[in-house]
Structure 1
């Protein structure tokens, strides 16, 4: 397995199952050069055998290294990002829900879901784009959603990239994130407004925006429901004092990007 093949597998799952509109957006933005993917994001629970470290292992096996830690107190999340020595490879942002900080009801439901997953299923890299590895009822989804949109989304969709990210720095027709937003809005795509259309600033060396998640069909034990799936993100990075582009993430901005999958928006 190579990074290119792994990201190709994740992309195919993403546009097929989670964010079909990404294929159309990709065509709208690409010109003479292929689009560069800045990063992907994955979600999980902090329970064995599905913890953040387990999701990170296939990337580490391909040479990725831990490059940053983040905390999202209000959402009860922690996250890490990973970078490859080859800077042309996408960065990987993995978050996990601190289940023990949630209500007994949420802990009970999530523990039952994770108990359906074997350690063997989480080995290799196939599970990263394998979807949901557990059975789930729509009522369980609704109970989770009352407390944590993150937990509900992960329970419903399982594993796969919840977003890919266009590197705005390399676009030929646009220089600014807001220009990308305006172009996509004119084409009928909804932009995440949480915290403003553009999150971050040149001062923090990173600007980001995203579409609102596609609505996709999710099959539960007791029926099929239309729910938010994945979204497409856009990122512009600014140079640090040493002239290198900033490669990390801004927690305050990422916090608002999470809300792209909010079912209430």
Structure 2
């Protein structure tokens, strides 16, 4: 587990420094006697050679993770997989990719040009997962991409890093319901993603989720610094399956709405 912890510590450091500074406050609000358990993280990319989902998954597979589920988001033109480690205490990893070929010619050409800027060998080491943007980008290009695909704009602006971390509500003693966590966060000034309802999912699908709306963070573009949506914090409650084990997967309908936590 040492290699797993080292990687997730680096991802958390990048996440709270660059993408979602408020996550540290949420973490402190919910921490009890035991350290908070991270249910999963999510990463975003493009399905292009050299940067595809498989490339992002490789460092996790190298430390013992295995693919465990596939997901399709047709309206958002996304494909995703989730990965699990043999040690159940290790967080799950949810990696999605934009199906660039299904987008406009303008978006395709722009994204391909960005990816071509990546220095050779820059993604051979696991550190790229929390290394940020590997290409230059101006604000107008970001806006153009985001207008067609919020997801494309986000990846273009931020590059690589955890889009979100997720508190496991199952391990909390003070709260047993996702709705109660939402109430605490609202009371402390956080905005909750209301797309599809504040709580996505239900006991029937064996997973309930909610999330804050993304922090607005400063990002350097070639023509100046602008403030745009960054990362967010998610909360997940899993229900037991027939065998008594907690449901390990994800629910497409709920995940579809969680993606919208980074909407403008």
Equivalence for 1:245 = 246
Q: Residue 160 in 1 paired to residue 164 in 2?
A: no
Gaps of 5+ in 2: none
Equivalence for 1:82 = 83
Which consecutive aligned stretches of 4+ in structure 1 deviate over 2 angstroms post-superposition? none
- Cα distance in 1 between the residues matched to 2:125 and 2:86: 21
**Contact map agreement 1:49 1:117 (CA 8 A) in 2:** no
- Cα distance in 1 between the residues matched to 2:207 and 2:69: 15
- Cα distance in 1 between the residues matched to 2:106 and 2:237: 40
- Measure how far apart 1:117 and its partner are: 1.3
TM-score (norm: length of structure 1): 0.98
- Cα distance in 1 between the residues matched to 2:120 and 2:8: 23
**Contact map agreement 2:119 2:134 (CA 8 A) in 1:** no
- Cα distance in 2 between the residues matched to 1:23 and 1:109: 34
SS, match of residue 110 in structure 2: helix
- Measure how far apart 1:36 and its partner are: 0.1
- Cα distance in 1 between the residues matched to 2:143 and 2:185: 31
Matches within 5 A, 1:45-194: 45-194=46-195
Equivalence for 1:255 = 256
SS, match of residue 75 in structure 1: coil
- Cα distance in 2 between the residues matched to 1:143 and 1:183: 37
Equivalence for 2:9 = 8
- Cα distance in 2 between the residues matched to 1:145 and 1:162: 16
- Cα distance in 2 between the residues matched to 1:212 and 1:19: 10
**Contact map agreement 1:49 1:119 (CA 8 A) in 2:** no
TM-score (norm: length of structure 2): 0.99
- Measure how far apart 1:83 and its partner are: 0.1
- Cα distance in 1 between the residues matched to 2:58 and 2:147: 32
SS, match of residue 121 in structure 1: coil
RMSD (Å) for aligned C-alpha atoms: 0.7
- Cα distance in 2 between the residues matched to 1:17 and 1:172: 30
SS, match of residue 259 in structure 1: helix
SS, match of residue 8 in structure 1: helix
